[in-house]
Amino acid sequence: MAGLSPTQRTLAALREQGMNATVAEKWVSFHSDDNDHSRKKKKPTGIRVDFFGIIDVVGLTPETTLGVQCCAGSGYSAHWHKLTEENAKNTKDWLACPSRKLEIYAWRKVKLKRGGKAMRWSARIVEIVLTDNGFEAVTKVD
């Protein structure tokens, strides 16, 4: 799975678990300068908007609706902050329904064997749980 984005890796992992999974975020394009007639290849201009500001991918089973925030391993802290502080209300509303879960999939390369050279992509999977005092992180896979 070389060259895949964290979102693509998450979709593959959820589907491998038997979930019906799809991307829930959307791309909002901005208009570029129409007077620029240069032959330079133009980069797409816009922003990616998460579903309810907190979800990149949704996975479904008959029992559960799973919302997932995907990121590179180094982005875990920023995504935790985004879900539990910046968008805490939306996170609480999502988790208020007993059949919904919210997880962070932080993808990074890990060595297959200690001291070895072979590497593979692995997700640090953390479930966000609503408690009386706010939120708690429950590590499912580290």
Condensed to tens digits (0 to 9), the pLDDT of residues 3-23 reads 899 999 999 999 999 999 999
Protein fold of 6-28+43-141: Trna Endonuclease; Chain: A, domain 1 (3.40.1350)
Condensed to tens digits (0 to 9), the pLDDT of residues 86-122 reads 999 999 999 999 999 999 999 999 998 888 889 999 9
pTM score over 0.75: yes
Instruction: Give the Å distances, CA to CA, from 35 to 8, 29, 38, 110.
Output: 35, 17, 9, 47
pLDDT at 37: 61
Residue 110: exposed, middle, or buried by beta-carbon count in 10 A (0-12, 13-18, 19+)?
exposed
